[in-house]
A and B are shown apart, each in its own frame.
Chain A
Amino acid sequence: MRLELDGEACQGHGRCYSLTPTLFDADDQGHSVLLEADVPAGQESSARQAVESCPEGAIALHE
């Protein structure tokens, strides 16, 4: 399972790094930084939550 972040689409809502800080961090501007593209075992539901929580649809999950 692989996460993909569209940095152009990210507007810095910060939902991903608030809700799933093990997978995402923030840069200085508050935009998202993907920490773990390959979703570690046991974090699949967190990854899905990050995808579904993004107001911009900026995160994709490849199963």
Chain B
Amino acid sequence: MSETTALPANQDEQSDEALTEGIAAEAVGGDFAAMLAVPEPQQVYAGIGSAPIIVMDGNHIVGAAKSVDTLTRSHDVRGSGALGNTQSADRPLIPLDIDRPEHTKYRKLLDPIFAARAIAHLEADVRTLADELIDKFIERGHADVYDEFCAVLPSTIFLRLMGIPLSELHYFLQNKDDLLRDIDGETIAQREARYKAAGKRCYAYFNRVIDEREASGEPGDDILGRLMTAEVEGHSLTRENILDICFLLMIAGLDTVAASLSCILSWLARHPDERRRVVANPEMWPDAIEELMRWETPVPVASRTPTVDMQVGDTTVAAGTQVTVLWAAANLDPEKFTDPLTVDLTRRPNPHYSFASGFHRCLGSHLARMELRAALDQFHKRIPEYQITPGSELKYEALPVRLARPLPLSWVVPG
């Protein structure tokens, strides 16, 4: 250990300090993800957030809300792109891996497409789709709700948004898994190769679709078509620009809503009294979803790199230092949230970090919120009473995305 900061002096806080140091020690070892791959990892994250910054063996980890704000609200900070291209892509993903001033130009193009008002008309579609998926398993009385509901719903909506035929769903789901899942026993080199191969397949697929549309002279009025005809500062997007946006939308959009749905359904399965309250008062869904997004933080971690020396707590972070930002810890900071380790489904205000903060705020946050609201409301109208299937064990993945997979739920089928 090289350095920790602002160590608490009084006895009562000694255990926090020990916890924080213990967690930081784990963070640089291999067991960190395992510690977090449980139904309730909140104590671990809260421990990390109790120090303004943790510096160990050259790793900088920030979990306190104030420190996260310092980093994410600054103009002199780069996002994930400072580490290289996400999922070993050939070029930076747009807008995730690019920073100002380029980032601002692309967000001006993309934000209106994903604005709350622009996607509101899709809600009826999401509810219909949710019903169709539920029809397939409701009479059975049990299902792996991850595979049959959580994974399929956002991917289907993505294909519709992009104007890609639904017959391609399984191709996309397989590629998504190849791009985002870790496989036990795989070496780093093998994993990189798998990412690259899956990435190439996706790029080739989108390339072919764009070719076909160009040949037909009809770009279409879906997102892909809008990108093909869009202009940024008077220039059309290049083919590479469009592909880099498509790949980002796929990586960011297919998995995160699925993960969020699985975490929320798993929590509600384990807390039947709270669930019954929401089922009886469905107007509670928006606040309940915000709170469960805070509690679960399905995207728990990000990377930020200051481009100037920056003061975080008592530590000066040198320009160019990569800092791991833990949204999951900031979401449990008692300076920001009253009684943060209690889930309060009516919590307001709830300025949580689950869609990131700062200029890399999740582009799809409004789409995600709408999908979650529609899917959860519809699911509970059809299946208000359910439980984790007795005898089955819940399995969580912690990083890079937190999810409950499989999610074996069961319910009583009437008559």
Contacts and interface: CB of A to CB of B under 8 A. Distances in A.
The number of chain B residues touching the other chain, given as a range, is 20 to 34
The number of chain A residues touching the other chain, given as a range, is 20 to 34
Contact of B351 (A9, A18, A28, A52): A52
B39 to A, nearest CB: 26
Interface string A9-50: 101111101110000001011110000000000000000010
A11 B112 contact: no
Contacts of A55: 351-353, 355, 357, 361
A7 interface: no
A11 B90 CA distance: 28
B1 to A, nearest CB: 32
Contacts of B361: 11-13, 55
A53 B286 CA distance: 14
A19 B164 CA distance: 35
Nearest to B119: A30
Interface string B161-201: 00000000000000000000000000000000000000000
Contacts of A13: 355, 361, 365
Nearest to A56: B357
B351 A30 contact: no
A49 B112 contact: no
Contact of B117 (A11, A26, A56): A26
A5 interface: no
Contacts of B107: 29
A30 B349 contact: no
Nearest to A15: B351
B115 A11 contact: no
Contacts of A19: 348
A18 B350 CA distance: 13
Contacts of A56: 73, 357-358
A36 B8 CA distance: 44
A18 B69 contact: no
A17 B120 CA distance: 14
Given A14-B366, A30-B116, A53 B108 contact: no
A53 B111 contact: no
Nearest to B69: A57
A11 B116 contact: no
Contacts of A14: 116, 365-366
Contacts of B114: 30
A54 interface: yes
Nearest to B116: A14
Interface in B332-362: 348-353, 355, 357-359, 361
A26 B348 contact: no
Interface string B248-281: 0000000000000000000000000000000000
B358 A30 contact: no
A11 B357 contact: yes
A15 B289 CA distance: 13
B377 to A, nearest CB: 16
A17 B366 CA distance: 12
B116 A53 contact: no
Interface string B355-375: 101110100011000000000
A15 B107 CA distance: 19
Contact of A54 (B116, B117, B351): B351
Contacts of B365: 13-14
A36 B114 CA distance: 26
5 contacts: A53-B348, A53-B349, A55-B355, A56-B73, A57-B73
Q: Which 10 A-B pairs have the closest CB atoms?
A: A30-B115, A52-B349, A53-B349, A11-B361, A29-B111, A55-B351, A28-B112, A55-B357, A14-B116, A29-B112
Interface of A: 9, 11-15, 17-19, 26, 28-31, 49, 52-57
Given A14-B116, A30-B117, A49-B349, 4 more contacts: A12-B111, A12-B115, A13-B361, A17-B116
